[in-house]
Amino acid sequence: MVLLSCTYSATSLANPVEPSALVHHVPSDSSSAPIIDWFGPPENSTEGMTICWDGLYNGQTEEVWDFEVWVNDTDGVDSVIFRFLCGSSSEWENKTTTLIEGNSTSGLYAGNLTYPVEWNWEKEYPVVPYSVFSFKVFANDSLGNWAETTTRTYMGGYVVVYPPSTSTTLGIPYGWLFLGAIGGAFGIVAVIFVLYSIRIRRSLRASHEEV
């Protein structure tokens, strides 16, 4: 399960520009391209949008990103494709979608990006093929008009990690281990301070008695 933690962008999410899509028309009885419900940078913008995510690793063997988007077209939507650019790849990967609500003129389309997660016993940390990917949506209608959104980029990693039970950390989350280490360090400093204070008091008392 992936947790989205923070979002920042050159374009405010509270005031999206709709639709943020490149629209293409072909000669036909209708000149309207599909309208994709999308938040992101405006069309032809040089500004980007990045969404940061903090992940939880609990032994899963794959990570699944689910996406849903509404697409409207009075001529009838022909296809909706989710496009992903993953890691250092230079080629966009196309994923088919499924109409889960509505109809061909106004429907909600769903799809996902899935990649494997492996536990690295040497590093004692989960390993994924990439930690950054970009996402955009393509749609066309029955008359050949098409639209494509601008791009959103997702980047992040696992903040809380529950290692396998056979790991040397005994299944304790690394986030908790880190906090425990900090707490332990403060505890040691506090004990040293108390012992040092007691020693000073005893020295002062002994000096006073000698006088």
Neighbours of 74 (CB within 10 A): 12
Q: At which residue do the structure tokens 């000698």 appear?
A: 210
Residue-level pLDDT at 80: 98
Q: Which residues pair with 160 in a beta bridge?
A: 56
Residue-level pLDDT at 192: 57
Report which of 177, 140, 180 is spatially closest to residue 32, judged by C-alpha positions: 140
pLDDT tens for each residue of 130-168: 999 999 999 999 999 999 999 999 999 999 999 987 655
Q: Which residue has the higher pLDDT, 195 or 162?
A: 162
Confidence of residue 1 (pLDDT cuts 50, 70, 90): very low
The string of DSSP codes covering 133-172 is EEEEEEEEETTS-EEEE--EEEEEEEEEE---TTSTTTT-
Neighbours of 128 (CB within 10 A): 16
Q: What is the C-alpha separation between 167 and 163, in angstroms, rounded?
A: 6
**pTM for this structure?**
0.66
Residue-level pLDDT at 15: 37
Report which of 144, 155, 157 is spatially closest to residue 31, judged by C-alpha positions: 144
pLDDT tens for each residue of 81-93: 999 999 999 999 9
What mean pLDDT comes out for the span 175-189? Answer: 55
